Amino acid sequence: MSSIFDLFKKIEKKEEPSLPISHIIVGLGNPGDKYQRTRHNAGFLAIDYISEKYGTRCDRVKFKGLCGEATIGGMRVLLLKPQTFMNSSGESIAEASKFYKIPPEKIIVLSDDASFDVGKLRIRKSGSAGGHNGLKSVIECLGSDKFPRIKLGVGQKPNPDYDIADWVLAKIPSELEPHLYDLFTCLPDILALLLKGEIEKAMCDFNGISK
């Protein structure tokens, strides 16, 4: 005769084995209230959107940053917001990369870009930092520029003499914020393609769109 404990064992749900972290999705920015909603923090804002979209939070302190986990397209990913300040972002990413043994080509970096308008984005498979100090740090710390990046337009300087640091550290104008957040709605589809390795399709489908 079966005991009550045997019955419990029969009806007990077996826990699914946890998938390993396969990719890291990083948003670049600066920590602290002073920098919230600035152009340079577009990457942080994007990670916040992704976290909310997938029902998770990026608030665990690790790897010199804030991190969380999400399942996107059937893959388990680490979401990361480096807290080292922009110019040292690569230190945080390199620590996470080493811990999970994630190669550069499986690290997706979201950053601001002041070379095109708010509401536009550009996906690149690899390449130079293009004058962006956060991307420069990532390249230096990973020892490679072979990582995909999603560059989020934050608007161009009003004139060539305008100091770029002043520009990117200024708040995004309230009337332009809706365009940026509309752009974020594309990110789940873009990430699903990038996680499957279909970067050429992602570039073809989303480069040049305007929100």
Strand 75-82 relative to strand 21-27: parallel, antiparallel, unpaired?
parallel
Residues 75-85 as b or e (16 or more Cβ within 10 Å = b):
bebbbbbbbbb
d(CA 137, CA 139): 5
d(CA 183, CA 177): 10
How many CB atoms are closer than 10 A to CB 131?
Answer: 11
d(CA 142, CA 146): 9
Task: Assess whether 23 carries a catalytic annotation.
Answer: no
d(CA 3, CA 50): 47
Please pick, among 23, 40, 132, 179, the residue that the annotation labels catalytic. Answer: 40
d(CA 180, CA 187): 11
> Which residues make Cβ contacts (< 8 Å) with residue 179, sequence separation at least 6?
118, 119, 211
At how many degrees (to 10) do helices 42-53 and 187-195 cross? 80
Task: Give yes or no for a contact between 84 and 91, defined as CB atoms under 8 angstroms apart.
Answer: yes
Catalytic residues: 40
